Structure 1
Amino acid sequence: MLLTDKALSNKISSPNNSLINPTNKQLIEPTVADTIVQMLTDLGVRQAFGIGGGGIVPIWDALEKSSIEVLNFRHESGSAFAATEAYFTDNRPVAVFATTGPGITNVLTGIMAARGEGAKVILLSGSTSEALQGKFALQETSRDTMPEGFFKAGTVFDYAKTITTSSELQKIQEELALQIKRPGGFVVHLNIPTNIQTSPGSHLTSPKFKTSLFIPDENAINKAVEILSEPFAIWVGFGARDAAEEIQRLAELTGANVMCSPRGKGIFPESHPQFLGVTGFAGHESVIEYMRSTPPDRILVLGTRLGEFTSFWNSIMVPPKGFIHVDIDPKVPGSAYPTADTFPIYAEIKTFLGLLLDKLSQKHKLNPLSVHIPVREGEITTEKLQLENGLVRPRELMRAIQTVVVENSDATVMAEGGNSFAWAIHYLKFNQATRWRVSTGFASMGHFTTGVVGAAANGKKAVAIVGDGSMLMNNEINTAVQYNLPAVWIVLNDASYNMCNQGAIMLGRPSIKGYIAPTDFAMLARSMGADGICVDNESQLKKAISKAMKSKVPFVIDVKINPSELAPIGERMNSINKQTAK
């Protein structure tokens, strides 16, 4: 890791969590801020991202003095996006810190993304001391000045607590320790008034308990074996990423064809002969062809909620005898297709598949592979406008990224909302679940222009494919330079919000124009201490990408994109048309 663990500069922890002054060896009782930071350490937090401020100085100071690596960002939302991606690199919870007022409101977009993506993120924020509330304090923050949802569990946070006394901390630690060990995401908000942060803390005892697994009963497993004796296919989503080995074993044992959601690329190898393609947004026609020509009796759904970008709720995706849907959330099975026959199994996917494989016969294939339909990419079309000579075609950029980055490195690849992730979803192919990241739920612009810094914070190369609009909206190049993180940005630069422009034409609304003043992103990168290069024709692509992958500093590739080549976003536009129809 480029960021090495810090030695404590002016304190060391004693066995009972008191602090020892290294000068005179006297015990110093911890403050609430110290106790909270110790709690984070006990919960497995190794990194904290954020921006400090007056309302959270004691917490900020305690973090800086601890063994937790602190990265100071340029915008609070960027720190939360980065924390989300840092979590997915090593499955450790990540802390985010923000000050009062705009610190909290700025961070919320990134926090909402963390919740939607299923990350484990703990937000620490300050609030105005109770004695000063109602006196027009700077950035006054309380339940009277902020929406109530900021301070309680609900649509934003899985768990939220305003801490008013150190006696609450032991129970908080126990609740967080239990939830963080469970499958799925968990987003926390601990709000601490400034005066409470410096009040006397307490000595916490690390809770010891076993986390219960979501295990289906014997009858559910037997029923699944019975149902899956008939021809079936497997539909894989991001939530099944921890069960990649079991999914491949099941597919090869039974001969089942496999398709995946846009977020689920690589969980089942995209080069495997049983892989049908990506469903939904920027997906492949081979999936639709399969469902039309030789549909399976049932589909086993693993790790996806079958939402809009995964299915577009297309009725063609409903097999004759319905779905078997495995999820730990009882609200998920049957929600996307309420009229389809759905057999729900409430279980952790890896556990379920392990039990299922134990039951299945190892001597013969229960569902012989009856059809193989190769993944088929869509036809490239252009607007009626003349093609811009010399500019880079996006599909050729994707092919260069496939060769240099996907096939010849171990870098994490992520794609930003907009045409960037449409091109990447459709053309890039992965054989590992840990190599690919995209957000098709909250899908915020700026997620990966900043999230790439979090993904690179473990010292491993991370590459973000982003649009110029997202890059101008929010980026953390300066942060990557400060900590010398191996982040690479590949910018699709067409001086426009081109998904909006192309989508407007598809929707019959050509008066919409989403143009942007041209920007030299390589120059922008160099102005902040990173390196950068401009690419304005396809012959330069592989050399430029190779240079970025070898760079010892953060790197930006500014690719001048042909804006006339239509991205594979037609199904999204069809969905919008249906939603706006009278």
Structure 2
Amino acid sequence: MRAIEAGMRFLIKQGVKYIFGIPAGSINALYDCLYDLPELQAVVAKHETSSGYMAAAYTRITGMPSVCVGSSGPGATNLVTPAANAWKEKLPVIFITGSVPLSRHGKGGAQELGADPIFAPVTKLSRMVMTAEELPGAIAEAYWTAISGVPGPVHLSIPIDIQMHDIGDIVLPELPLLQERLAPVDKMLIDATLEAVLQAGERGALLLGHGAKSAKDEVLAFAEQTGWMVATTPRGKGAFPEDHPQSLGVYGLSGNDKAIEFLNSNGHKLIIVLGSSLGELATCNWEARLTAGKQLVHVDYDERELGRCYEADFALHGEIAPVMRELSAGLAQAGIGLSAERKMRLEQLYFARLEAAAAALDRETWNTRTAIRMLGAHAPEQTRFYIDIGEFMTYSIQNLLIREQQQFDININFGGMGSGIAGSLGAQLAEPERPVLCITGDGCFFMHGLEVITAKEYGLPIVFVVINNARLGMVYHGHMLQYERCLSDFSQQRVSIAAVAESLGVRHMQVGSVDQLQAEHIQQWFAEGVSGPLVVEIVVDGNEIPPMGERVKFLQGATY
């Protein structure tokens, strides 16, 4: 048995199903052994960077480690960006890159590069495998390292001769029987937090980060028990149903006015932050008013996040779900629940907001915001919205109304332009039955749009909505807000994305008005029995200023 086959058999044993990447000479021994391993499916992308974003999305959604493969040299360096993204998102992605034969190292082989030190700053482990006999164990070590403690990516560089060497029949490595788990939060700290919650009464608030998505039921139960208002960070969007009477929407980058006004006010005495690192984009540039004059409870499974940006009165290192269950149980024991009067008041305010939103939508003119709002209003109940990086992102954060059964994904911390296009493929593979709607832009499409061919080749029914404003919209508007001028190169002659999709043999349509984006049209996009992707080009002028003012303020402060 070749060494690389033994390594792949170990991964199969752990439940790994997909190998994302691009084949090439220095890694082809891995792809060759897949002929004999039907349990592993190769997902061959159009760019290594895209494959890394696919792997990250798959892992984020399933919780299963994924594998991403690239060749030596440029194939490896193309994977550094998605490795950094997985590092920021704490995702256990296993990156494997090829290398020239070990016996030829240092002799000027084609595309020779020592990749392991390049990956080291953005992985939990990065090393070169030096012997064939250690390769299966090295993959087992990488897998265990990726999932242990705070998860994160790992990287192995494997010379091609090491991959191909026959090591005979071996016993595959075993992982430890007991998975590492966080110790329960100290009971005295839970009790002290509960006392603070009881003292706050109705004057409390919740701010949910991405980590809170792991405890949606527990968070909803606690919120309805207390009657507290709930906001999310941009990455936490979807952790709480935004059609709920207690929802404030998003706080932070492109946040909703009501969320920013409420959390920055003195209307509450206590704020509980769940699963957020409280970085720039989550906190309106580390806004001091978020915690001023209030007690702060911060819960996170990564101890390094506690106290990094805001000093917490109660810093709870642990899993969010059991913490919220204990707090809810304590409230129930104390006889605390949402009063009928407060419930009625919240519902009245909510229905008033709904009426105002419906009236506003009826009055909308055709622009990016209108298109985003209509996508949110008419998408199927189970939709996963996968948002790319650009001007449309700010409108999506602020204007998509994510309902209880829907999901919202965005790589806002380290996702590059086009990462949403690639990530949506990983999302569809992770949940084949859930509709996936990727919102992207023309600039993103020019970077990684050819991954729609990959979606076509694997029969993935993703709807790619491309907002075409014939410019790098976020860059253009940000530059104009900051400097009041910009280069003409930020814009370009409009290219028909629908025509590009047609040339690729992909289903497509072009939308240029409200009348073409009604409920019946969007329902047809997701009709049963339809296979393969659909590219929907939405043509807008894009002259309106997107809701990105807080980001511009931060850049201005860093510049002047």
- Normalising by structure 1, we get a TM-score of 0.86
Which has the higher mean CA deviation after the structures are superposed, 423-432 or 462-471?
Answer: 423-432
Report the Cα distance in structure 1 between the residues aligned to 2:522 and 2:406, rounded to whole angstroms: 21
Candidates 241, 245, 259, aligned match of 2:217: 245
- Residue 177 of structure 2: aligned partner: 209
Q: Which amino acid aligns with 1:540?
A: Q
Q: What's the counterpart of residue 347 of structure 1? A: 318
Aligned-partner SS, 1:417: coil
1:45 aligns with 2:16: yes
> What is aligned with 2:479?
504
Please name the residue that 1:200 is paired with: 166
Query: Is 1:568 matched with 2:528?
Result: no
Query: Aligned residue for 2:127?
Result: 161
- Contact in 1 for aligned 2:17/2:41 (Cα 8 Å): yes
Once the two structures are superposed, residues 95-146 of structure 1 have per-residue CA deviations (whole angstroms, 9 ceiling, x without a partner) of 111111110011222222222223221111111122212221111123xxx5
Report the count of equivalent residues: 532
1:531 aligns with 2:513: no
Cα contact 2:102–2:162 (8 A) shared by 1: no
Given the alignment of the two structures, is residue 220 of structure 1 paired with residue 199 of structure 2, yes or no? no
Task: Give the aligned partner of residue 361 of structure 2.
Answer: none
Asked if the contact 1:64/1:70 (under 8 Å) is kept, the reply is: no
The answer to whether the Cα contact below 8 Å between 2:213 and 2:236 also exists between their aligned partners in 1 is: yes
Q: 1:322 aligns with which of 270, 295, 301?
A: 295
Deviation at 1:360, TM superposition (A): 3.1
Aligned: 1:413 with 2:385: yes
Distance of 1:558 and 1:279 partners within structure 2? 30
Q: Which residue of 2 aligns with 1:68?
A: 40
Query: What displacement does 1:295 show?
Result: 2.9
Letter in 2 for 1:325: H
- Partner AA of 1:100 in structure 2: S
Unaligned runs of 5+ in 1: 1-29, 381-389
Q: CA deviation at 1:177?
A: 5.0
CA contact (8 A) 1:321 1:341 kept: no
Q: Tell me which moved more, 47-56 or 441-450.
A: 441-450
The answer on whether the counterparts of 1:259 and 1:276 sit within 8 Å (CA) in structure 2 is yes
Of 288, 296, 304 in structure 1, the residue corresponding to residue 276 of structure 2 is 304
Between stretches 454-463 and 308-317, larger displacement belongs to 454-463
Counting only pairs closer than 5 Å after superposition, residues 103-122 of structure 1 correspond to structure 2 as 103-122=75-94
Contact kept, 8 Å, 1:302 with 1:326, in 2: the verdict is yes
- Which residue of 509, 515, 532 corresponds with 2:491? 515
- Whichever residue aligns with residue 376 of structure 2, its letter is Q
Instruction: Report SS of the residue matched to 1:301.
Output: strand
Mean Cα displacement is larger for which, 447-456 or 82-91? 82-91
Q: Is the 8 A contact 1:391 1:562 kept in 2?
A: no
Distance in structure 1 (CA, Å) of the matches to 2:328 and 2:141: 34
5+ long unaligned stretches in structure 2: 358-363
CA distance in 1, matches of 2:90, 2:492: 33
2:510 partner SS: strand
Where 1:420 maps in the other structure, the secondary structure is helix
The range that moved more, 489-498 or 294-303, is: 294-303
Matches of 1:376 and 1:108, distance apart in 2? 45
**Letter of the aligned partner of 1:335 in structure 2?**
R
| CA–CA distance in structure 1, aligned partners of residues 140 and 107 of structure 2 | 36
Between 1 and 2, higher relative CO (CA 8 Å, sep ≥ 6) is seen in: 1
Cα deviation, 1:490-543, whole Å, max 9, x if unaligned, reads: 011010001111112211331344102311111111211211111122211135
More helix by share: 2
Aligned to 2:423: 451
Q: Which amino acid aligns with 2:299?
A: V
1:464 equivalent to 2:430? Answer no
User: 321, 331, 348: which is aligned to 2:304?
Assistant: 331
Alpha-carbon separation, structure 2, partners of 1:464 and 1:291: 30
Instruction: Check whether the contact 1:334–1:342 (CA below 8 A) recurs between aligned residues.
Output: no
Residue 179 (structure 1) shift: 4.4
1:272, CA displacement in angstroms? 1.4
Instruction: Return the letter of the residue paired with 2:367.
Output: R
Aligned with 2:376 (options 402, 411, 414): 402
Q: Percent identity?
A: 27
Shift of 1:302: 0.5
Q: Which moved more, 1:453-462 or 1:99-108?
A: 453-462
Q: CA RMSD in A?
A: 2.5
Match of 1:259 in 2: 231
Instruction: Check 1:170–1:482 CA distance in 2 against 1; reply closer, same or farther (3 A cut).
Output: closer
Q: 1:64 to 1:229 in 2, by over 3 A?
A: farther
Contact 2:70-2:98 at 8 Å conserved across structures: yes
Secondary structure at 1:112 match in 2 = helix
Equivalent position SS for 1:135: coil
Question: Is 2:453 the counterpart of 1:484?
Answer: no
Q: Which moved more, 1:205-214 or 1:528-537?
A: 205-214
Q: Does 1:356 align with 2:327?
A: yes
CA distance in 1, matches of 2:116, 2:179: 34
Q: Give the deviation of 1:173 after TM superposition.
A: 5.2
**What SS does the corresponding residue of 1:61 show, helix, strand or coil?**
helix
Tell me by how many angstroms 1:352 deviates: 2.1
The whole-number CA distance in structure 1 between the counterparts of 2:210 and 2:52 is 20
Moved more, 489-498 or 107-116: 107-116
Return the alpha-carbon distance in structure 2 between the equivalents of residues 245 and 527 of structure 1.
45
Letter aligned with residue 194 of structure 2: V
Residue 89 of structure 1 deviates from its aligned partner by 3.3
Structure 1 segments of 4+ aligned residues over 6 angstroms from their partners: none
**1:528, 1:398 → 2: CA distance?**
26
The aligned runs of 1:358-437 (5 Å cut-off) are 358-362=329-333, 364-365=335-336, 372=346, 392-405=366-379, 408-432=380-404, 435-437=407-409
CA contact (8 A) 2:224 2:338 kept: no
Distance of aligned partners of 1:49 and 1:173 in 2 relative to their CA distance in 1, 3 Å threshold:
closer
